[in-house]
Structure 1
Amino acid sequence: MHDIFPLAGLSDPKTVKVPKNSPAGSIVYCPGCRVTESVYQAEGDADLLRARRAAVKTLQLANLGIEKEKVVALAVESLDLSRRRDLSCFWFAMLALLYAEETGLVEDELFRRALGPIWEKSQLHRGVLLLVRARARALTGGLPTAQGLFTRSLRAPLPPRLSEVCIAWQVENLVEMGRVDEARDLLREHGYFEPGKVIDDYPVLMAALGALELAAGRYEQSLNCFLICGKQLSDHAVYNPAVIRWRSPASECSSALRRRHLALHLAQEDVAAAKSWGSPWSAGMAFHALAVSQTDENTTQSFWAAAALLRESRIQRGQAKFYYDFATHLSEQNRLGEAGEMFKSSEYRAQVVDNSLWVERAARGVQRVKSTRSRQSLTKEEKGIATLARLGLTNAEIARRSHVTVSTVEQHLSNVYRKLRISQRGDLAYAMLPPCDWE
């Protein structure tokens, strides 16, 4: 087991420096471990050898984003052949099943493992079991519960690479709940902002850091993180967005930065890759990014395509935000009845995952649609200033760029808040504004 999850150092998010024992030397990329030829050493156990070969093949196909049905079959075969005792087969198979959105199979396996004697006695086994349970819960619902499981898992004696994955998934979960400062403190607590610190698993950590910066409205920094993540995944032959999403959020950042061509290109690539893989949540989130990147009549069509796909999936992550964005788009089209229904869908999805931040945000959206104020559209000047504020510029910087006084900026922002029924600057990140005509 230690050959598959070797002890290793940590790495630095700022310096894009991959350690010598990086996954680039692995047979296949797998979050949390470096899979080398030693995985095939099964000490004369023919079934275990076959199980591990099946597990590695499962990850190879999943990373490429092809043959999803075969991936699921190989994952189940690996679990059966290993007699549900081998930790490596368990980790590989569980990841593959989560990529395939086979959450029912994952839950069944977690239940079986919890009753097995080896999983009760070994602290390492319990820690990995908790980590998979936390990830599954974070994807399907119950964000506070997932956070507690992540915390418990991190207290277990996990190998450094798995601890890093646990921290990254914790960060993403905190960001989903709007606890951005806590997420940043967690990374700081574990030394990820210290000079010279090395990351074992760049894709996982950069995706988490990108999500953190995106939630904080630091779009340039977020885009850089996601592009680094994508470069690393490409180097490891990982093209499936179900493994780690990076193109869609990078597209969202590009849209916020008004880099429309880049945003559209990234979203279109993600749609193609997600459709090839065939999991509804991945495809739905890709169509969401495509909708946001478009500025024509296809926007609404892409939103509806995303909604149809997401309804098929048990993966709830990001759905509250999707329905909120769709509702806001419909509001801007003056389709207030449909917008109200979408805000209610956002509120419901937030309740399913126990996300109080988005419950409150969506509820305000419902009230905004009911209010006569919601019928007031933003002027061109208000749109421009709101967009600059969303990019993180101060009022003084906006005033200089727009050639107006600071008091004028403040008055325009006050009008924007009133018309959009939001209470603070940070809420602009969740209000889709119509594109401005200026560069």
Structure 2
Amino acid sequence: MVIDDVHVADTFSKRALAYLRPRLQGLPVVIALGASPGYLATDEVTLPEIAGAHPRRIDLDGLDVATIAQLTDRDPGRCHELTGGNPYLLQALLREEGEGSAAVGEMIGMRLREYSGAAEVARSAAVLDADAGLDLLSALTGFDALPAVDTLVRLGVLADTDPLTFRHPFVRNSILADMPVAVRSAAHARAAKLLFESDAPGERVAEHVLKARSVRLPWAVGLLREVGGVEHLERALEEHLSEEDRLSIEVELGHAEHLRDNKLGRDRVRDALMRCEDPQLAANVALSLIQRMCTGSDAHFAVSLAIMVIARLLPEDRDLVWNLVCTTYLLAANRDARMANCAGKYFDDLVGELPQNPDLQRARSALLAVGNARSGDSSADAVGHALEALEGGWVDVFGESHLFTFLVPVLGDDPEHSNRLWLTHSTAPVAHDPHLRRGMLSMIARACAFHNNGDLARAYTFLTPPVSTGNLDCPSVLLATAKLAEVCIEMGQFDEAAPLVTADGELLQHINVVYARGRLKLASCHAEGALEDLLEAGRRLASREMPNPALMPWRHHAVRAYLALGNRDDAARLAHEELDLAKRWGSPRVVGTALMSVGISTDDVDVLVDAEQVLTATPHRLLHAQSLYWLGHHLRRKGRTDAAAPHLRRAFELARQLSAHPLAKLAGDEVHGEDEQVQGLTKQENRVARMAAQGLTNRQIAETLHLTRRTVELHLSSAYRKLAITGRAELVAALWS
């Protein structure tokens, strides 16, 4: 006997089944009861009384994907995802064009009416979808949703998850399809407000606002603009707006469309600005848009917009014109070398005119600081102009990535100046960069200050959040990524640094990435590849007329790469070039680094002493530790072991304090001597391997240890075999481990 849907049978039938079962025992009769799980026993006869204490339970699974494929031409995987293979739901799905059925939704509503509040909670859960937490469900329904949730989970309508989800997406879609459009829109509007008041992420709130088309939500306009997608801005335009807000949103919408389709977006922006009867309003809206632009396709668009709106302004709008030209210049100067050089034509005009607005005068001072930093003329002048710019509250140009990239190294010699930079950015009213949350530029500035001071652990902590956005189209994220790679290299985390230095392109900040990639290769004993990347960084800076070593000390590391390849002449030439430029700039950090380059390339201990004395008086502890190491290393190579020991010991202690593990390893090895046998290597293999890890060529090792080059090669091959590595690229990590 097969009795289906026994859970909805009448009382008399249930009583009859309960009477029959014990009287059929021992007879060749099978009773199969079909029941949906979760239905509560509200009758005088319960299911256990009918089935007995120990029935054999068979749970029916849905049809699998292969079986569904035999029944329909539609995507069987998607059909299974929606229905779980439930035959009833699958049949209903195949009858419909979409992914929900109003008829099924109506049937579910009727089934749930006998359970108090269940239908209302199911509707609310369908509206909230991934946001269906118990508190929001109760707020949306207006009563305690917990008992109804328990019922819906037991009935298999909702899955037993947190937050709650529907067991089958088709059921949710069907419940929504059964709701009148106005009712559904009103529910989404209430859900949006509840989520907004609970500080939910803007994207989640905006999803509900988009679905509340027939309800006016003026409070949501700012949120939709902040999210900034095309559909969000189109929804914002449906609200009652002022002329200024409507123009601003239309322009923002045009820019969002421009990122998808250049022509469509540009036409919308130009039409909106030309329709505006107030030229000042049009110019201010265009300025606001240009300030937020940062992608590769934005610069040409920004130039054309600036030209268009400036043409409509009057002579008395001189400050507004200056601001537009300045902002457009900073955007264009951040692009490829050709566009940066074209934009540079406006620089002299900008600094040659003194705006009347005090904030614009500070913006001009910031430009003067950038000019000094580009040419490398005078650190004192650059810092003076930068501090003039920072004297006061927030100025919009501070949010431009081009300006920020220059101010970081300009102010990096003095912790107090670096603090002023990040404090200024911490007061920014909004996140200037659309890819970064508010305060992220301040975090990058703080991280760079910690990096300059050698506090690697704190620099790492502050750089990780901006980099975690992963948007490498953003110049600020690129800069943070390159800086984080440098920190990882100095901490010995080479595997973590490797994926951070893969990006390349035409932005100014891509040069920072190429430079960091060269440093990683050098640290990994891949001197040839390191030299190639470091020289490429130098070529790109030269094409932009940026010789200043304060911006990027690529020559210092290229000198080490040359030495590792045995090219001492080119190393010395580049080191002296760096020293000449460093003296012209004049900051202790840059001069001390250049003196180190000259000292290690010429093997001149006196110059290395000068480098250490310059850097010891600065807050740059990691650079000081490096100068101590190189001084001690070269003293040791000249046989002056006693003189070398205190420098190496101090370098080891400093490097260990700063978490600069590779440097601590090198200094520590020299402090403790190279004769200690490590990991099965012989004494001579140990010495040769460690010298190779320090970047010395086979010839240099042979000269220092009075061996033939062939003997050095044999010792290295034996060390590689014992360490289970394939070459120099893995030597540092193997010795460190």
Structure 1 and Structure 2 fold alike (TM over 0.5): yes
Q: Equivalent residue for 1:420?
A: none
Paired residue for 1:150? 463
Cross-structure match for 2:505? 198
Unaligned runs of 5+ in 1: 11-18, 372-377, 394-400, 415-423, 431-439
1:6-52 superposed Cα distances (whole Å, 9 cap, x missing partner): 33249xxxxxxxx994154236999xxxx989999xxx972222222
Equivalence for 2:632: 327
Q: Secondary structure at the match of 1:3?
A: helix
**Superposed displacement of residue 148, structure 1:** 1.5
1:101-131: CA deviation from partner (whole Å, max 9, x where unpaired): 12212224434654x3726999644011111
**Which residue is equivalent to 1:71?**
382
Query: Which whole-Å deviations, capped at 9, do the CAs of 1:170-200 have from their partners, x for residues lacking one?
Result: 1111111111111003335xxx3xxxx6342
What are the equivalent positions in structure 2 for 1:133-172 lying under 5 Å apart? 133-155=446-468, 160-172=474-486
Q: Is 1:127–1:158's contact at 8 Å kept on the other side of the alignment?
A: no
Aligned residue number for residue 426 of structure 1: 732
Residues 82-111 of structure 1: per-residue CA shift (max 9 Å, x gap): x32124336637843633512212224434
Q: Indicate whether 1:303 and 2:608 are aligned.
A: yes
Secondary structure, aligned partner of 2:448: helix
**C-alpha distance in 2 between matches for 1:183 and 1:385:** 23
The equivalent position to 2:417 in structure 1, one of 64, 83, 105, is 105
Cα distance in 1 between the residues matched to 2:472 and 2:692: 44
The SS at the match of 2:552 is: coil
Determine the C-alpha separation between the residues in 2 that align with 1:365 and 1:338. Answer: 13
Q: 2-side partners of 1:72 and 1:221: how far apart?
A: 35
Match for 2:395 among 73, 77, 86?
86
Higher relative contact order (CA 8 A, sep 6+): 1
Q: CA deviation at 1:68?
A: 2.0
Cα 1:121–1:383 change in 2 (3 A) is closer
Cα distance in structure 1, aligned partners of 2:501 and 2:733: 24
Which residue in the other structure is 1:132 paired with? 445
Residue 436 of structure 1: aligned partner: none
Distance 1:154 1:347 in 2: 30
Rounded Cα–Cα distance in structure 1 between residues aligned with 2:385 and 2:536? 31
Unaligned runs of 5+ in 2: 1-287, 298-332, 677-682, 699-707, 722-729
Work out the CA distance in 2 between the residues paired with 1:306 and 1:206: 27
1:345 aligns with 2:650: yes
Shift of 1:280: 1.0
For residues 3 and 300 of structure 1, what CA distance do their matches in structure 2 show? 53
* TM-score of the pair, normalised by structure 1: 0.74
Matched AA of 1:262: D
Q: Give the distance between the partners of 1:388 and 1:363, measured in 2 at CA.
A: 13
The question of whether the paired residues in 1 share the 8 Å contact of 2:688 and 2:716 is answered with: no
Q: Decide whether the 8 Å contact of 2:612 with 2:624 is kept in 1.
A: no
For residues 289 and 569 of structure 2, the distance between their equivalents in structure 1, rounded to whole angstroms, comes to 46
| Pairs aligned (count) | 382
Aligned to 1:435: none
Task: Verify: 1:214 aligned to 2:519, yes or no.
Answer: no
* CA–CA distance in structure 2, aligned partners of residues 355 and 79 of structure 1: 32
Q: Which amino acid aligns with 2:340?
A: S
Deviations 1:181-236 (A, max 9, x none): 11003335xxx3xxxx6342342121111111111111111111111111111111
Deviates more, 1:402-411 or 1:212-221: 402-411
Matches within 5 A, 1:249-288: 249-288=557-596
> Could you say what the CA RMSD is over the residues aligned between the two structures, in angstroms?
4.2
Distance 1:5 1:174, change over 3 A: farther
The whole-number CA distance in structure 1 between the counterparts of 2:712 and 2:588 is 48
TM-score in terms of structure 2 length: 0.46
**Structure 2 CA distance for aligned equivalents of residues 125 and 98 of structure 1:** 22
Deviation at 1:407, TM superposition (A): 5.7
Q: 1:52 aligns with which of 336, 355, 363?
A: 363
The reply to whether residue 183 of structure 1 matches residue 497 of structure 2 is yes
Change (3 A) 1:388 1:361: closer
> How big is each residue's C-alpha offset from its partner over 1:122-164, in whole Å with a ceiling of 9 and x where there is no partner?
9644011111111111111321211111111234689711111
**How many Å apart are 1:165 and its aligned residue?**
0.8
